[in-house]
Structure 1
Amino acid sequence: MDFYSFFNSSTSYRVRIALALKGIEPIFHGVNIRLGEHRDAHYVATVNPSAVVPAVVDGNFHLGQSLAIIDWLDGTYPEPRLIPAEPVLRARVLEFSNLIACDIHPVNNLRVLKYLTDVLKATSDQKDAWYKHWIAEGLCAAERLLEQAAAREGGPWCFGGAPTLADVCLVPQVANALRMGCDLSAYSRVMAAYRHASGHPSFVKAEPKNQPDYVA
């Protein structure tokens, strides 16, 4: 399996965690989105027509979008399962994961921030205010969902005693928020789940600083 990633992409980070949890060692390809390599004609034509990272290529099978990749990994390499099979828990995990992947991440990713500054001419302070506003909106909701989950499932992970897609999505988002200087002290359950997951070897392996294409 070939895996296309950028060290500081939170969506790539999600897939790296999933791969590590499942013990999969893909062939790594760094794609520097800061330099626009994801828009290279060859990459778009032969790897990912959406012109983004991450992407996986397994023989003739090509797939982009982190949640789709992780769902495919669950079906192809089912242990450990990251999207629960039990319908109610599955729905809860997907609800939380989509809060991050659909509500928080899209408005704060690199291309949106670059559009704010390069096209709309937002100042650095305005860009930071935008980022922190949407982090606060999203993590307030995440905190409430984790409070409910703690009352139902318990356990040190987002939903019970084992990592799920929820943790896979949460950790990169919190890591980015911390890197951007957001004050996360109000989100005690979010941060407890983040700290617990961050000590797990698979999550450590997937960290940006531990990637072959890492640039300080």
Structure 2
Amino acid sequence: MNDRLRLYSYWRSSAAYRVRIGLHLKGLAFETVPVHLVRDGGEQHSPAFHETNPQELVPVLEHGQRMLRQSLAILEYLDEVWQEPALLPATARERQRVRALAQLVACDVHPLNNLRVLQYLEREWGVPQPERDNWVRHWIAAGFDAFEAMLAGHPSTGTFCDGNAPTLADCCMVPQLYNARRFGMNIEAYPTMLRIEQACMDLPAFQAAQPERQPDAPRT
């Protein structure tokens, strides 16, 4: 397919970060369309962006005339359309494991520390910033405890979360580690995750996807 790719993204969105990693791993050129999630009450709530995604969330990947939503669904779409290098393993059992790891982050951890959840806690219940930060750290730690246990000593764990090539699981894990550091978590208790993260960050695809390297990231 020769249709252009446009990624509606916010530099610090971990869901958009996952998709950027996948795009770079596939070697796909794409245009970034910044959507500032905080400025002016959040550009994702504008009527124009509502047409792009009725959920008012990033990322959205525009591929030709198609609007693709939800980060994991986008990553699997990329894997089906551009099959090499694969983001999912060859066997059903290994694919299930990778999807389980990815969904642990994307479905169980990330939604509880998403911007809109934190804004709701502040707006509706007046939860102060320190308590909101504690909320985030609690749920990340609960997820990381399980993620580390699922990696450590497992025969399928290799250089990366599954085997010796990055998969959907690595695309999800690395941005969540970034979030953990943002909220001041002590992550030394997760040595397997940290070892794999370092292997990921040695790759140009992961480097190019980093939040601070995005065109809409603040310049200091």
Tell me the TM-score normalised to structure 2 length. 0.94
Query: Number of matched residues?
Result: 213
* 2:7 partner SS: strand
* 1:57 partner SS: strand
The amino acid that maps onto 1:160 is G
* 1:33 partner SS: coil
Check conservation: 2:11, 2:211, Cα contact below 8 A: yes
| Aligned residue in 1 for 2:174 | 171
Alignment of 1:140-159 (within 5 A): 140-149=145-154, 152-159=155-162
Alignment of 1:41-190 (within 5 A): 41-45=47-51, 47-149=52-154, 152-190=155-193
Partners in 2 of 1:196 and 1:133 — Cα distance?
A: 26
Partners in 2 of 1:154 and 1:44 — Cα distance?
A: 40
What CA RMSD, in Å, does the superposition of the two structures yield over aligned residues? 1.1
Partners in 2 of 1:189 and 1:5 — Cα distance?
A: 29
Shift of 1:201: 0.7
Partners in 2 of 1:154 and 1:58 — Cα distance?
A: 33
Partners in 1 of 2:61 and 2:145 — Cα distance?
A: 33
Which runs of structure 1 show a deviation greater than 6 angstroms over 4 or more consecutive aligned residues?
A: none
Partners in 2 of 1:148 and 1:78 — Cα distance?
A: 29
Q: Percent identity?
A: 41
| Aligned residue in 1 for 2:216 | 213
* 1:2 partner SS: strand
| Aligned residue in 1 for 2:37 | 33
Check conservation: 1:155, 1:161, Cα contact below 8 A: yes
* 1:119 partner SS: helix
Partners in 2 of 1:89 and 1:113 — Cα distance?
A: 34
